[in-house]
Amino acid sequence: VDVQEQLQRDGYYDGPIDGVLGPMTREAIAAFQADNGLAVTSVVDEPTLATLGIA
């Protein structure tokens, strides 16, 4: 849920905040990773969490 909320605040995600790592969330993660110079994996890994400010 924290990941979806932060992606929504950052303008990457506009789906429901439901804690489900579905296609919309994975797409948002990939876009965030690409925009921030991270490896685009569509997976919430430590570098992604740190860049989101969650880790």
Residue 47 domain flag: no
Would you state the pLDDT for residue 1? 87
Residue 54 domain flag: no
Answer left, alpha or beta for residue 15, where phi above 0 means left and psi between -120 and 50 means alpha: beta
Domain that holds residue 38: 2-42
- pLDDT of 55 above 90: no
Q: What is the pTM of this model?
A: 0.94
Residue 10 domain flag: yes
The number of distinct structural domains making up the chain is 1
What phi, psi does 39 have (nearest 5°)? -65, 130
Residue 29 domain flag: yes
Cβ atoms of 23 and 15 closer than 8 Å:
no
Residue 53 domain flag: no
Question: Side chain identity at 29, as an amino acid letter?
Answer: I
- pLDDT of 36 above 90: yes
